[in-house]
């Protein structure tokens, strides 16, 4: 199979969906012909589809999402880009109070088929305003769906599903994933929501990881294999809906769990997954559930400090060894 | 002289037992050898008998309480004897030590009925982990199947268990089978709107009048032959098997028997039978025909002398003179206590039942 980057996989998904469905359009800051998006995901699409369908906006996240919600309610399928995940906070009323609730509050008479693409994550030395992982904020709002693709294959397949989905989807990308290359079929395919993926099969311990942490966990698993520890890596791929069954089955098989996510520990993605395991698979746990996350601090600008707070392979290996005894 | 009753050690691994029920109250007179309390270990229930005659002076362990092996349960004294002073430590209850074990280890131990205190843990602070339990299972245990649930033997199940075991132990069983043509009986069933069980109960009662030895009991070297013919009807209920009794069935009409059985089985299914309803039986009929059974070896309901098993009615080709005819046929299974009667009288009794069921004029008397 051919290999393309995560960035190009996303672009292909956008392009193919725009060709397939004329109601799909893109909207965001600097996504058009002059810049092609801060991370170049939309580069070339304005030239192909014109400025009507690839709309540059003023710097107002609230306006981008407000306009998108209205367009979605009237039959369009907007894909909005928020340049940095941190800046979704500026549009939070539109997302959490409008987009998420409309379908419920109008008894299903209106729906909001909106996708908000946005990159999260640190590791590129752009400090506290541009490095957070806020997936859990959206998990906490009923009505929103949250996708967290970690590979080019998942990115393309999940984005297509998101665009065809009648609910608002927060499509979480990660800055360090854009250049990552992986196999992506040339033919049309989708990845369903709520179906986790075993990124690596193992028998001794389950690592549940999302986004860039999937790759760090796979590296850690490789290192642990040399020491005779056989690691299974589960990637939920969507946090809402969450594939509990795959997670629980893996835990029941190994009896030991390490959850690796880049967001903060308190009330984070890892907390929700740990709670589900404790509620539904307690009798299968052979060791306490371990979490490897960013501590509860803003991401530091200093590169050594940033490296220190964001989970790395060493911390993952250490956590695994703490539960495999 | 005061005698202590303590929790017995009923198996090598037993550490404690629970008091299920006291058969006696404080102050009751007890006879040596009389069961006074029922205790439950993880495997069995066991009746503790009074080691001496006297008065049950004091009970130290309430029903439901867990008591260690050799822990004090009660004291029996002579009627006028005062209660001796007891050292407090002997009454000590089981103190459960906290054993550090992972949930997975606990689950596995529970499934195999393993006591975690037997296992050495290899986790942090000696925590027992699943692998430790697995190792124990492989090394220390004979192969045992995984336990799904533990059901204490109580209530009707317990009584049934005791009674069938007693019956098989005491009465040498012999079972005879005989095929009956039910053509006439089925006509009777249709015209009177009664069940086959009703007809068979009546036929059995009439046959017993001529074969009294099957309506008897053997006890203490004597065979008591009963005057009354009281037929028990084995009835499956959600709680277990019960046997309500139709009294003086030989003197009742078929329709009286039918409505009585209807009332009794209804009461049985609702668990509303009173003692009166299931006492005094002299013979039992048990019907498995509706479950497709043709022949079986019923166990005599002690202390009766015999039991009649009723099989399924099947249409079969049978020779009628020189012709082959399709007839509704049924097999009866008579188990009898061979101490009381021999094979021939039992066979004659069975023949009589057959004769009644096949003969329209005899059936009229039903």
Domains in chain A, please, with CATH?
Answer: 3-183 (3.40.50.970), 197-323 (3.40.50.920)
Q: The complex's ipTM?
A: 0.74
- Known catalytic residue at B337: no
* Mutation for testing the A interface, residue in B100, B101, B104, B110 having most A CBs under 10 Å: B104
Residue B84's pLDDT is what?
75
Contact assessment for residue A82 and residue A60, using Cβ atoms and an 8 Å cutoff: no
Task: Pick the residue from chain B with its C-alpha nearest to A251.
Answer: B104
Confidence of residue B249 (pLDDT cuts 50, 70, 90): very high
Task: Pick the residue from chain A with its C-alpha nearest to B125.
Answer: A325
Other Cβ atoms closer than 10 A to A189? 12
Whether B159 has a pLDDT exceeding 90, the answer reads: no
Q: What is the CA radius of gyration of chain A?
A: 19
Contacts A285 to B, Cβ<8 Å: 102-104
Whether A182 has a pLDDT exceeding 60, the answer reads: yes
SS3 state at A259 = strand
Which has the higher per-residue pLDDT, B91 or A82?
A82
Of the candidates A260, A324, A262, A15, the residue with the CA atom closest to the CA atom of residue A120: A262
Residue A26's pLDDT is what?
98
Whether residues B104 and A284 touch (CB distance < 8 A) is answered with: yes
Is cis: bond before A95, omega within 30 of 0?
no
Crossing angle of the two packed helices B254-269 and B196-210, in degrees rounded to 10: 120
Whether A180 has a pLDDT exceeding 90, the answer reads: yes
Phi/psi at A80 (5° precision): -90, 145
Confidence of residue B57 (pLDDT cuts 50, 70, 90): confident
Contact assessment for residue A207 and residue A231, using Cβ atoms and an 8 Å cutoff: yes
Contacts B123 to A, Cβ<8 Å: 287, 325
A34 at interface of B, judged by CB pairs closer than 8 A: no
Of the candidates A136, A101, A140, A170, the residue with the CA atom closest to the CA atom of residue A264: A136
Residue B97's pLDDT is what?
62
Residues B3-47 pLDDT 10s = 888 888 877 777 888 888 899 888 888 998 889 998 887 667 788
Q: Which two tokens stand for residue A253?
A: 């098989």
**A202 secondary structure, DSSP code:** -
Confidence of residue A140 (pLDDT cuts 50, 70, 90): very high
- Ranges A88-102, B81-95, B161-175: which has the least confidence: B81-95
Whether residues B104 and A325 touch (CB distance < 8 A) is answered with: no
CATH code, B156-364: 3.30.559.10
Question: What's the gap in Å between the CA of A287 and the closest CA on chain B?
Answer: 6
Query: For chain B, what percent of residues have pLDDT higher than 90?
Result: 50
Strands A181-183 and A197-200, by their bridges, are unpaired
Residue A59 CA to residue A28 CA, distance in Å, equals 9
Residue B150's pLDDT is what?
81
Contacts A286 to B, Cβ<8 Å: 102-105, 129-131
Of the candidates A284, A232, A288, A290, the residue with the CA atom closest to the CA atom of residue A260: A290
Query: For chain B, what percent of residues have pLDDT higher than 70?
Result: 94
Residues A55-92 pLDDT 10s = 999 999 999 999 999 999 999 999 999 999 999 999 99
CATH topology of domain B3-91: OB fold (Dihydrolipoamide Acetyltransferase, E2P) (2.40.50)
Residue B96's pLDDT is what?
54
* Mutation for testing the A interface, residue in B100, B101, B103, B109 having most A CBs under 10 Å: B103
Question: What's the gap in Å between the CA of A292 and the closest CA on chain B?
Answer: 20
Whether B89 has a pLDDT exceeding 60, the answer reads: no
Contacts A277 to B, Cβ<8 Å: none
- Ranges A50-64, A218-232, B64-78: which has the least confidence: B64-78
Residue B142's pLDDT is what?
73
Report pTM.
Answer: 0.62
CA dist A6 to A45, A133, A157, A219, A313, Å? Answer: 16, 18, 11, 19, 22
SS3 state at B25 = coil
Residue B86's pLDDT is what?
64
Contact assessment for residue A122 and residue A262, using Cβ atoms and an 8 Å cutoff: yes
Residue B95's pLDDT is what?
54
Phi/psi at B224 (5° precision): -95, 120
Whether residues B103 and A325 touch (CB distance < 8 A) is answered with: no
Q: What is the mean predicted confidence (pLDDT) over B165-191?
A: 94
Question: What's the gap in Å between the CA of A205 and the closest CA on chain B?
Answer: 13
Residue B365's pLDDT is what?
66
- Known catalytic residue at B80: no
Q: Would you tell me which residues 274-293 of chain A have a C-beta closer than 8 angstroms to some C-beta of chain B?
A: 282-287
Query: For chain A, what percent of residues have pLDDT higher than 90?
Result: 99
Q: Which two tokens stand for residue A16?
A: 């193919």
- Sequence spans of domains, chain B: 3-91, 97-152, 156-364
Length of chain B: 366
Whether B140 has a pLDDT exceeding 90, the answer reads: no
Question: What's the gap in Å between the CA of B131 and the closest CA on chain A?
Answer: 9
H or E, element range at A232: strand A231-235
- Ranges A101-115, A309-323, B74-88: which has the least confidence: B74-88
Whether residues A287 and B123 touch (CB distance < 8 A) is answered with: yes
Selected catalytic residue, list A130, A140, A174, A215: A130
CATH code, B97-152: 4.10.320.10
């Amino acid at each position: 199979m051919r290999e393309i980057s995560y960035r190009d996989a996303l672009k292909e998904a956008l392009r193919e969906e725009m060709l397939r469905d004329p109601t799909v359009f893109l909207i965001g800051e600097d996504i058009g012909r002059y810049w092609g998006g801060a991370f170049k995901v939309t580069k070339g699409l304005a030239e192909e589809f014109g400025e009507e369908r690839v709309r540059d906006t003023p710097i107002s996240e609230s306006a981008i999402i407000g306009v998108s919600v209205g367009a979605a309610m009237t039959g369009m399928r907007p894909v909005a880009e928020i340049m940095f995940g941190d800046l979704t906070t500026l549009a939070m009323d539109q997302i959490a109070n409008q987009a998420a609730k409309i379908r419920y509050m109008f008894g299903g008479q209106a729906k909001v088929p909106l996708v908000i693409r946005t990159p999260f994550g640190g590791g590129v030395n752009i400090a506290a305003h541009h490095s957070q992982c806020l997936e859990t904020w959206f998990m906490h709002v009923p009505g929103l769906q949250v996708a967290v693709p970690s590979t080019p294959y998942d990115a393309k397949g999940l984005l297509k599903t998101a665009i065809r989905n009648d609910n608002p989807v927060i499509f979480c990308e990660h800055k360090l994933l854009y250049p990552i290359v992986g196999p992506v079929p040339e033919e049309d395919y989708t990845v369903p929501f709520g179906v986790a993926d075993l990124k690596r099969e193992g028998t001794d311990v389950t690592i549940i990881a999302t986004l860039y942490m999937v790759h760090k966990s796979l590296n850690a698993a490789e290192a642990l294999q040399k020491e005779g520890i056989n690691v299974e890596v589960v990637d939920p791929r969507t946090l809402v809906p969450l594939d509990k069954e795959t997670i629980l089955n893996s835990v029941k098989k190994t009896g030991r769990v390490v959850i690796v996510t880049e967001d903060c520990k308190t009330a984070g993605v890892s907390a929700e997954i740990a709670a589900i395991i404790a509620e539904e698979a307690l009798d299968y746990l052979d060791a306490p559930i371990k979490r490897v996350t960013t501590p509860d601090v803003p991401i530091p600008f200093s590169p050594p400090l940033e490296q220190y707070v964001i989970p790395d392979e060493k911390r993952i290996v250490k956590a695994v060894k703490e539960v495999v005894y | 002289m005061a005698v202590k009753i303590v929790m017995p050690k009923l198996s090598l691994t037993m550490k404690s037992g629970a008091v299920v029920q006291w058969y006696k109250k404080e102050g009751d007179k007890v006879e040596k050898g009389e069961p006074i309390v029922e205790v439950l270990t993880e495997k069995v229930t066991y009746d503790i008998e009074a080691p001496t005659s006297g008065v049950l002076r004091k009970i130290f362990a309430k029903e439901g309480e867990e008591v260690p092996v050799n822990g004090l349960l009660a004291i029996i004294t002579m009627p006028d004897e005062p209660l001796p002073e007891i050292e407090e430590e002997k009454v000590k209850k089981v103190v459960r030590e906290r054993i550090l074990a992972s949930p997975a280890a606990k689950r596995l131990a529970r499934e195999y009925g393993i006591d975690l205190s037997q296992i050495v843990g290899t986790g942090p602070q000696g925590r027992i982990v699943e692998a430790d339990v697995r190792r124990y299972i492989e090394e220390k245990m004979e192969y045992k199947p995984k336990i799904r649930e533990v059901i204490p033997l109580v209530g009707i199940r317990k009584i049934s268990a005791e009674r069938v075991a007693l019956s098989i132990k005491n009465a040498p069983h012999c079972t005879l089978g005989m095929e009956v043509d039910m053509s006439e009986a089925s006509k009777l069933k249709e015209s009177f709107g009664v069940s086959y069980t009703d007809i068979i109960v009546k036929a059995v009662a009439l046959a017993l009048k001529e074969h009294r030895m099957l309506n008897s009991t053997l006890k203490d070297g004597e065979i008591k032959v009963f005057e009354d013919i009281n037929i028990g009807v084995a009835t499956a209920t959600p709680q277990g098997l019960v046997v309500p009794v139709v009294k003086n069935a030989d003197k009742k009409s078929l329709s009286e028997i039918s409505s009585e059985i209807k009332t009794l089985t209804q009461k049985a299914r609702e668990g509303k039978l009173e003692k009166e309803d299931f006492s005094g039986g002299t013979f039992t009929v048990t019907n498995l025909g509706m479950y497709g059974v043709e022949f079986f070896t019923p166990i005599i309901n002690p202390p009766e002398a015999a039991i009649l098993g009723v099989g399924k009615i099947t249409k079969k080709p049978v020779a009628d003179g020189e012709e082959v005819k399709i007839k509704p046929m049924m097999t009866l299974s008579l188990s009898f206590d061979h101490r009381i009667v021999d094979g021939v009288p039992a066979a004659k009794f069975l023949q009589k039942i057959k004769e009644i069921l096949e003969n329209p004029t005899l059936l009229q008397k039903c």
